[in-house]
């Protein structure tokens, strides 16, 4: 068994190691409309996720929107989404949030095609 290096310790890993099994989890599928493509929205979402114990993905849609799936502890998901909202407040014209059932299968937070 290999030891973990500091580089391997991420908020998502800490989430798996530190959370009690009864911690309330939350998942949301979010669609953002406005000037959200071609401006660094997805890369910024990944950067913001590094500061929160959440997992998920973000991608551009062919209709000009950005789709984002996030899951983690309820409070962490809420704080992550608020941070995205605050960062892109001048670009987001509409935000549609749909609650999902957390599956706990996601690893990290990434840009997907």
Kindly report the CATH number assigned to the domain that includes residue 46. 3.30.70.100
* CA distance linking residue 81 with residue 59, whole number of Å: 15
91 is catalytic: no
Select from 110, 112, 108 the least CA-distant residue to 54.
108
Which of the residues 50, 60, 65, 85 is marked catalytic?
Answer: 60
Query: What count of other Cβ atoms lies within 10 Å of the Cβ of residue 37?
Result: 16
* CA distance linking residue 89 with residue 78, whole number of Å: 16
0.85 exceeded by pTM: no
In a domain, 52, yes or no: yes
Contact present, 48 and 83 (Cβ < 8 Å): yes
In a domain, 4, yes or no: no
pLDDT tens, position by position, 6-52? 455 555 555 454 444 567 899 999 999 999 999 999 999 999 999 99
pLDDT tens, position by position, 90-113? 999 999 999 999 998 999 999 999
In a domain, 99, yes or no: yes
List the domain range (segments joined by +) for residue 80: 9-14+21-111
Which of the residues 42, 50, 85, 100 is marked catalytic?
Answer: 42
Total number of domains in the chain? 1
């Amino acid at each position: 068994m290999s030891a973990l290096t500091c580089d391997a310790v991420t908020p998502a890993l800490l989430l798996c190691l530190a959370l009690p099994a009864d911690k309330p989890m939350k998942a949301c599928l979010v669609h953002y409309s406005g000037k959200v493509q071609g401006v660094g929205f997805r890369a910024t979402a990944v950067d913001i996720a590094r500061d929160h114990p959440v997992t998920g993905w973000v991608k551009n849609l062919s209709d000009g929107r950005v789709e984002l799936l996030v899951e983690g502890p309820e409070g962490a998901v809420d704080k992550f989404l608020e941070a995205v909202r605050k960062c892109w407040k001048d670009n987001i014209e509409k935000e549609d949030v749909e609650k999902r059932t957390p599956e706990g299968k996601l690893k990290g937070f990434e840009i997907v095609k």
